[in-house]
A = this chain, B = another copy of it.
Amino acid sequence: MEEIYQVKTINMISKKTKYAIKALLHLAKHYGEGPILIAHLSEKEKIPKKFLEAILLDLRKQGILGSKIGVGGGYYLIKNPKQVFLSQVLRSIDGPIALIPCVSLNFYERCDDCKDEITCGIRNVMTEVRDATLKVLSGTTLEDILNREKRLNTSKKRTINKM
């Protein structure tokens, strides 16, 4: 009898958020070149078209994207890629970055079982986790990510040439 192994489904950032980042990076690469079609983004970044529509709409409502209807329309970045922070993107789609609501800056909620926030040790650690995470996420922009990719590409080439 064969056994079936079920890979643990993983709960991190959602596909939706990952799609959002990929779409935004594409738009960032073509910043200033006018609107890009949903259909084009969908094809180039391998994102289901209808799903992408919803994502782009979210990002527009967050003030990150602009859109134009009709011939010659599409989506475009409203902000400069060096002003779009990864923290903002994650919050726009998945919501909070903190691991626990009582420590979230943008989605605060009191824990229902909380006796005293001030002296809660769990909350205290989770604040540190939040700060450590945010230091990276709100220190990284779309432009930074594109630059990382450039850097990684050239250092990869150097490595290959040495071999």
Q: How far is the CA of A129 from the CA of B120 in the complex (A)?
A: 25
Q: Which stretch from A34-42, A52-60, A63-71, A100-108 is at the chain B interface? A: A100-108
Closest approach, in angstroms, between the C-beta of A101 and any C-beta of chain B? 5
Q: How far is the CA of A111 from the CA of B128 in the complex (A)?
A: 29
Q: 7 shortest A-B CB distances, which residue pairs?
A: A121-B145, A121-B149, A132-B132, A119-B152, A121-B148, A12-B99, A129-B136
Q: Given A10-B109, A109-B10, A149–B120 Cβ distance below 8 Å?
A: yes
B21 and A122 form a contact (CB under 8 A): yes
A101 and B132 form a contact (CB under 8 A): no
Query: This chain: how many copies in the complex?
Result: 2
With a CB–CB cut-off of 8 A, which chain B residues contact A149?
119-121, 124
Residues of A in contact (CB 8 Å), total: 47
A124 and B152 form a contact (CB under 8 A): yes
- Extra contacts, 16 of them, besides A10-B95, A128-B136, A132-B133 (Cβ < 8 A), are A8-B95, A11-B11, A11-B94, A12-B99, A18-B100, A18-B111, A21-B122, A118-B156, A119-B153, A120-B149, A120-B152, A121-B146, A122-B145, A124-B149, A125-B140, A125-B148
